[in-house]
């Protein structure tokens, strides 16, 4: 039963008998891998909730069940919450935590603790599955074309369009049919006027999140009402471009291009804590029954050949170092135009046996196509 502490809503409350005759005061706030947030950003939902819980419920602890089909997502959430200011137990699934699962021993009491006040389910919790996924993706993207939302959700365009109209009827998103200012949420009037108007053939209908939709998505994630949550957005808020569209299309691109792979989730413009070179997009799943990260870098070719090679080398080394550190395989994909691909290929001279590199065309005609990866090798389209 959902319970409330202040404006924070938790899935439930449980008083765990950690030792005979001693019970905790523990609130449950689960995390799902397929709710549009990378693990580090979803962990920030928990960090945003903690101050209110600790202020209004002294001695309380948190249980965070991570609902994910493999371990990488769970391990990253657990690591991100290792220094939480109150005791937090992060478990893979819903097995009840023991004392060793908490980041530090929680307060215990001589009798079981009561729960919080009963709470209603968040607005939007009755949406269809496709509409809910589209709402959360729109909250992350802010403004997007139908294909970008569909690709991020790994839905067909027609199903996604129906879901977006369901959201529009609720007042959660709005449809812009003949508006050239898809980037107006990112740039000032002066910046837009300096770029000039788009040509008519470059103007496509798009969707934009509205305040009620943003509020509904934040409540569904578990962010307390009134709390600021900047982690909902893409890390690099790029203007409309081929670069941005390829990044947002990545989860579906991978799933179409590599039917042998299982893609659990994917995110565009990801910020990995501690890395100065972050992927343009990241998908997570399995390849050959091995947990794998599908790391995308898109290069637009606005730099010299030497700088492109230097940047690509740094990104490649960061990617392989990260994959090795977290114990997963890596498929690193570099999308660009022909001369840029040629400039970058020397970055991949030494490919570990648990990694593969694909260098491919970034054109829209190539959507959903990639050569088959080979472990320990670079494959050039």
Beta bridge partners of 356: 331
Where do we find the tokens 């309380």?
A: 60
pLDDT tens-place string over residues 68-125? 999 999 999 999 999 999 999 999 999 999 999 999 999 999 999 998 899 988 888 8
Q: Per the structure block, which two tokens stand in for 22? A: 């001693």
The pLDDT of residue 186 is 61
The pLDDT of residue 202 is 55
Half-sphere exposure of 77 (CA within 13 A, CB side): 29
The pLDDT of residue 195 is 47
Rounded to an integer, what distance in angstroms lies between the CA atom of residue 278 and that of residue 369? 23
The pLDDT of residue 73 is 98
Q: Which of 203, 212, 163 minimizes the C-alpha distance to 183? A: 203
pTM here? 0.93
243 vs 263: which has the higher pLDDT:
263
Beta strands 22-24 and 17-19 are antiparallel
The CA-based angle 172-223-30, given to 5 degrees, is 105
Q: Which of 270, 352, 330, 323 minimizes the C-alpha distance to 75? A: 323
Q: Which of 113, 155, 102 minimizes the C-alpha distance to 133? A: 155
The pLDDT of residue 179 is 67
Q: H or E segment at 358?
A: strand 355-361
The pLDDT of residue 123 is 86
The pLDDT of residue 235 is 86
Longest dimension (CA), the chain: 72
Q: Which of 370, 310, 317 minimizes the C-alpha distance to 344? A: 310
pLDDT tens-place string over residues 23-62? 999 999 999 999 999 999 999 999 999 999 999 999 999 9
The chain-wide mean pLDDT, for the chain, equals 92
Rounded to an integer, what distance in angstroms lies between the CA atom of residue 105 and that of residue 187? 48
| Alpha carbon distances (Å) from 81 to 154, 236, 306 | 29, 24, 40
Please give the distance of CA 298 from its chain centroid, rounded to a whole number.
18
* Region label for 225, one of left (φ > 0), alpha (ψ between -120 and 50) or beta (otherwise): beta
Rounded to an integer, what distance in angstroms lies between the CA atom of residue 41 and that of residue 272? 9
CATH topology of domain 129-225: Arc Repressor Mutant, subunit A (1.10.10)
Q: How many CB atoms lie within 10 A of CB 222?
A: 22
pLDDT tens-place string over residues 173-228? 999 987 666 776 665 444 444 444 444 445 578 999 999 999 999 999 999 999 99
The CA-based angle 71-294-321, given to 5 degrees, is 75
- 53, 27 in Cβ contact below 8 A? yes
Per-residue 3-state assignment (H helix, E strand, C coil) for 244-287: HHHHHHHHHHHHHHCCCCEEEEEEECCCCCCCCCCCCEEEEEEE
| Alpha carbon distances (Å) from 205 to 167, 180, 202, 364 | 16, 9, 10, 18
CATH class of 242-380: alpha beta
Mention every residue, 6+ apart, whose C-beta is less than 8 A from residue 83.
103
Where do we find the tokens 């995308």?
A: 296
pLDDT tens-place string over residues 140-166? 999 999 999 999 999 999 999 999 999
Beta bridge partners of 89: 63, 102
Half-sphere exposure of 182 (CA within 13 A, CB side): 25
DSSP string for residues in 138-182? HHHHSEE-HHHHHHHHT--HHHHHHHHHHHHHHTSEEEESS-S-T
- 41, 76 in Cβ contact below 8 A? no
Q: H or E segment at 43?
A: helix 39-56
Q: Which of 264, 259, 262, 296 minimizes the C-alpha distance to 277? A: 296
The pLDDT of residue 84 is 97
Domain residue spans of the chain: 3-118, 129-225, 242-380
Rounded to an integer, what distance in angstroms lies between the CA atom of residue 53 and that of residue 76? 23
The answer to whether the Cα torsion of 103, 107, 92, 81 is positive or negative is: negative
């Amino acid at each position: 039963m959902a319970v409330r502490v202040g404006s924070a809503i938790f899935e439930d409350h449980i008083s765990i008998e950690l030792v005979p005759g001693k019970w905790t005061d523990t609130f449950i706030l689960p995390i799902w891998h397929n709710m549009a947030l990378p693990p580090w950003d979803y962990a920030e939902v928990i960090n945003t909730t903690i101050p209110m819980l600790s202020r209004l419920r002294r001695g309380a602890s948190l249980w965070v069940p991570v609902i994910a089909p493999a371990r990488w997502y769970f391990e990253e959430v657990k690591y991100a919450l290792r220094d939480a200011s109150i005791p937090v137990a992060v478990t893979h699934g819903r097995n009840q935590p023991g004392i060793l699962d908490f980041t530090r021993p929680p307060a215990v009491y001589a009798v079981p603790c009561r729960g919080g006040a009963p709470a209603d389910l968040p607005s939007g919790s009755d949406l269809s599955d496709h509409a809910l996924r589209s709402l959360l993706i729109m909250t992350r993207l802010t403004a997007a074309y139908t294909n970008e939302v569909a690709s991020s959700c790994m839905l067909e365009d027609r199903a996604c369009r129906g879901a977006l109209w369901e959201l529009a009827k609720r007042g959660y998103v709005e449809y812009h049919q003949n508006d050239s200012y898809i980037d107006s949420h990112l740039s000032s009037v002066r910046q837009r006027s300096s770029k000039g108007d788009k040509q008519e053939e470059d103007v496509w209908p798009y969707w934009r999140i509205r305040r009620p939709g943003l509020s509904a998505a934040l409540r569904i994630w578990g962010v307390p009402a009134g709390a600021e949550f900047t982690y909902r957005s893409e890390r690099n808020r790029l203007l409309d471009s081929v670069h941005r569209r390829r990044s947002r299309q990545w989860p579906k691109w991978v799933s179409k291009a590599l039917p042998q792979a299982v893609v659990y989730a994917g995110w565009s413009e990801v910020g990995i804590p501690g890395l100065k070179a972050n992927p343009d997009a990241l998908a997570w799943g399995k390849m050959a029954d091995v947990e794998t990260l599908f790391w995308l870098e898109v290069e637009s070719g606005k730099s010299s050949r030497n700088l492109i090679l230097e940047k690509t080398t740094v990104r490649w080394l960061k990617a392989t170092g990260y994959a090795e550190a977290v114990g997963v395989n890596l498929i690193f994909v570099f999308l660009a135009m022909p001369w840029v691909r040629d400039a970058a290929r020397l970055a991949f001279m030494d490919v570990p046996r648990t990694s593969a590199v694909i260098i491919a065309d970034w054109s829209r005609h190539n959507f959903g196509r990639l050569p088959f990866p080979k472990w320990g090798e670079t494959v050039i389209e």
